[in-house]
Chain A
Amino acid sequence: GQQLNQSPQSMFIQEGEDVSMNCTSSSIFNTWLWYKQDPGEGPVLLIALYKAGELTSNGRLTAQFGITRKDSFLNISASIPSDVGIYFCAGQLKGAQKLVFGQGTRLTINP
């Protein structure tokens, strides 16, 4: 089945640093989504991307839909303590209903 390879699996950074994570796949996706999940909570949507090459920002977050449609990245600028959590990418194939999720990137911030 389709798989998303998300990297890195974990990141330990200092407050104020920029963060970059990405997802790649062997399949072509029509939609890429980025979610953040805090412990004991459900995933919260951060950014949705619907067009190859699309670059979208949400505050300090920026995500891009790769032009090959097989990858996406998420950047976080000037990290703050509340950015701590697990970030998931998710892709949707054309005509499919389900989302395929990556394994997540756990972000830890040292104050």
Chain B
Amino acid sequence: DTGVSQDPRHKITKRGQNVTFRCDPISEHNRLYWYRQTLGQGPEFLTYFQNEAQLEKSRLLSDRFSAERPKGSFSTLEIQRTEQGDSAMYLCASRTSGDHSPLHFGNGTRLTVT
């Protein structure tokens, strides 16, 4: 399968711990996105990379959140000092630069903060 891959699928952590998620986009896709989805809601944009450059960040991305894409391929999303409100599904998506290139999502990492 050459779709967007995310790891882990599930993460349970205690409040105050740090967590890191990984996303491997579709190989020829140079644009990578992180979204967050809470129960009963649509995904909300967090941040976007073109190659290794992080070009846009949402106000939802507090200073406890950091995302990287060091070599323009896989990306990591780290949450420091997790809070219960961070519990959500974290979705990664990718696309090419073309105007008519739709966004393809991975299956997400479900984070539960206890």
Contact = CB atoms under 8 A, between A and B. Distances in A.
Interface string A14-52: 000000000000000000010100001111110010100
Interface string B44-57: 11001000000110
A72 to B, nearest CB: 14
Interface string A90-111: 1000000111111110000000
Contacts of B43: 43, 88, 99, 101
Contact of B103 (A4, A40, A45, A102): A45
Interface string B90-114: 0101000001101111111010000
B91 A99 contact: no
Contact of B42 (A42, A48, A104): A104
A40 B42 contact: no
A42 B107 contact: yes
A44 B104 CA distance: 7
Nearest to B59: A1
Classify chain A: how many residues form its interface, as a range. Answer: 20 to 34
B33 interface: yes
A96 B103 CA distance: 13
Classify chain B: how many residues form its interface, as a range. Answer: 20 to 34
A106 to B, nearest CB: 9
Given A42-B107, A45-B104, A97-B31, A103 B42 contact: yes
Contacts of B31: 97
A33 B102 contact: yes
B105 A42 contact: yes
B100 A48 contact: yes
B62 interface: no
Give 8 closest A-B pairs by Cβ, nearest first.
A101-B42, A42-B105, A98-B45, A48-B102, A42-B107, A43-B105, A97-B48, A42-B108
